[in-house]
Amino acid sequence: MRPVLEVADIFRHHGPAYRHAHKHHLGGTERRVMAAIEACRTPALGGHVEHCADCGFVRCAYNSCRDRHCPKCQGLARAKWLEARQAELLPVLHFHVVFTVPASVAEIAFHNKAVVYTILFHAAAEALNSIAADTRYLGAEIGAIAVLHSWGQALHHHPHLHCIVPGGGISPDQTRWIACPPDFFLSVRALSRCFRDLFLQRLCAAFADGELRFPGTLDVLAVPANFTARIDALAQIDWVVFAKPPFAGPEQVLGYLGRYTHRVAIANSRLVGFDNGKVSFTWKDYRQDGKTKVMTLSADEFIRRFLQHTVPSGFHRIRHIGFLANCHRTAKLALCRELLAAAVPPECHRPADGRIASATLPVWRLTAVPAAAAKCWLADRCHRLRHRARQCGATVHDPVSVAPTRLGHVRQRRPRRWSVVVVRGHFPHAQSCRAGQGRRGAPSIVSRSPAPLTRAPHRDCSASPNR
């Protein structure tokens, strides 16, 4: 059913006046988008006749503009893209990671879209790959699908990347699949700092090469000293990178991708009124828990905000990263499926007495551990583990390199033998002693095991409790 009000109606009524008022700085891309939306599904683009062979009903339909900024022309493109991606989804958890830039960077990006948006893609991809490849976090080659959005709910310019990332990756020796914990992907603090540094490095390189322009109020940044001061200020603040909880399954990933990949700045369904040169539309205020509100703007301001989000011709808003990159996607996905098929874990189970059986722990075989201990964290550095153990008089046979992740999902790099385990929590049935304060002020307990612990098979245990 055709919406009562469309963006095209606003453009047809106020487009000519907007072009005349802004003729000196309206770019060719914006003019092309306006013309395409105004002509979409009108006699200007021609049409075709649809005839029903059963009832004989005849309908004349006009052709669509198929512009990627048009709210009415994304359905078919979205369906075709999702059909092509369906065969590429892996049977693992998928995480949603969002990279955003500060407002001062968005201001530069508005006048240098092709350059800064490209830097945004490259910095996010390199940050994901480098942090995931670090053995302190995951130690694997990952893949991702990145989608560029440049708008917020109120249509302000807010460039950010939505990345859909499989929960795991290929080991450096290409022989096994390394899975993430079911509720933790990578450290967002490490991702944020790495992304910030990479982005600013590339932005400085673009400035040195003369690829950036600074019109209007930004002309002061054309001076190298002022630009350097802006970069220094940006390097001192925290950039926002956050990861949302994992999806329930591949079907949910496809549905979510469909809502993000071919979205435009505003859908026709959000328009609620157009009268006396005023446009009203709904928006969600995330500062008030996503409360839905109605915003009213002048038609001129509405068109200006809409055209802020046009992208340069030929620019790719959807890109693939890591083992999902186009150059080797087919071969890498075949390897991933082969590794996943060879590493299918047995079913995890919880005994009736409330304790976690040793079979549910993927790396170390522990016995007589209460279920509450699964919320504990292992020490994130080997030297800290050895130091605390020696304070308690325990003997450390050999150090082990562990990743800073949660109990039940710690990977042991090489098969070693241990006689101590450092966990956080309370063990009433184990011989233990206090070894100082651990993370977040919780007491750390060093439990001496009567025999060296052995390495248990690695598995992705989805039954492990959350922290």
User: Whole-angstrom Cα distance, residue 9 to residue 11?
Assistant: 5
User: Whole-angstrom Cα distance, residue 243 to residue 300?
Assistant: 36
Residue 80: the pLDDT is: 84
Higher pLDDT, 454 or 102: 102
Residue 103: the pLDDT is: 93
Is the pLDDT confidence value at 92 over 80?
A: yes
Higher pLDDT, 451 or 122: 122
Is the pLDDT confidence value at 127 over 60?
A: yes
Higher pLDDT, 466 or 159: 159
Higher pLDDT, 263 or 191: 191
Higher pLDDT, 264 or 463: 264
Residue 446: the pLDDT is: 36
Is the pLDDT confidence value at 399 over 70?
A: no
Distances (CA, A) of 344 to 309, 338, 365, 454: 44, 11, 19, 21
Contacts of residue 446, defined as CB under 8 A and 6 or more positions apart, other chains included, come to 388, 389, 391, 392, 394, 420, 421, 422, 432, 433, 435
Residue 290: the pLDDT is: 85
Q: What is the SS3 assignment for the chain?
A: CCCCCCHHHHHHHHHHHHHHHCCCCCCHHHHHHHHHHHHCCCHHHCEEEEECCCCCCEEEEECCCCCCCCCCCCHHHHHHHHHHHHCCCCCCCEEEEEEECCHHHHHHHHHCHHHHHHHHHHHHHHHHHHHHHCCCCCCCECEEEEEEEEECCCCCEEEEEEEEEECEEECCCCCCEEECCCCCCCCHHHHHHHHHHHHHHHHHHHHHCCCCCCCHHHHHHHCHHHHHHHHHHHHCCCCCEEEECCCCCHHHHHHHHHHHHCCCCCCHHHEEEEECCEEEEEEEEHHHCCEEEEEEEEHHHHHHHHHCCCCCCCCCCEEEEECCCCCCHHHHHHHHHHHHHHCCCCCCCCCCCCECCHHHCCCECCCCCEHHHHHCECCCCHHHHHHHHHHCCCCCCCCCCECCCECCCCCECCCCCEEEEEEECCCCCCCEEEEEECHHHCEEEEEEEEEEECECCCCCCCCCCCC
Residue 361: the pLDDT is: 31
Is the pLDDT confidence value at 59 over 50?
A: yes
Is the pLDDT confidence value at 424 over 50?
A: no
Is the pLDDT confidence value at 406 over 90?
A: no
Is the pLDDT confidence value at 355 over 60?
A: no
Higher pLDDT, 203 or 352: 203
Residue 358: the pLDDT is: 33
User: Whole-angstrom Cα distance, residue 271 to residue 276?
Assistant: 15
Q: What is the pLDDT of residues 242-293, one digit of tens each?
A: 888 777 776 778 777 777 788 889 999 999 999 999 999 999 998 888 899 9
47-51 and 177-179 beta bridge pairing? unpaired
Please tell me which of 66-80, 188-202, 233-247, 341-355 the model is most confident about, judged by mean pLDDT.
188-202
Lowest mean pLDDT among 48-57, 336-345, 359-368, 425-434: 359-368
Report, as an integer, the average pLDDT of 379-394: 46
Please tell me which of 23-32, 46-55, 114-123, 376-385 the model is most confident about, judged by mean pLDDT.
114-123
Average pLDDT, rounded, for the chain? 77
Q: What is the pLDDT of residues 293-342, one digit of tens each?
A: 999 999 999 999 999 999 999 999 999 999 999 999 999 999 999 998 85
The band of 48, judged by pLDDT with boundaries at 50, 70 and 90, is confident
Is the pLDDT confidence value at 348 over 50?
A: no
The band of 70, judged by pLDDT with boundaries at 50, 70 and 90, is very high
> Would the pTM count as exceeding 0.75?
no
Contacts of residue 298, defined as CB under 8 A and 6 or more positions apart, other chains included, come to 277, 278, 279
Is the pLDDT confidence value at 172 over 60?
A: yes
Residue 3: the pLDDT is: 66
Provide φ and ψ at 241, rounded to 5°.
Answer: -135, 125
The band of 410, judged by pLDDT with boundaries at 50, 70 and 90, is very low
Q: What is the CA radius of gyration of the chain?
A: 28
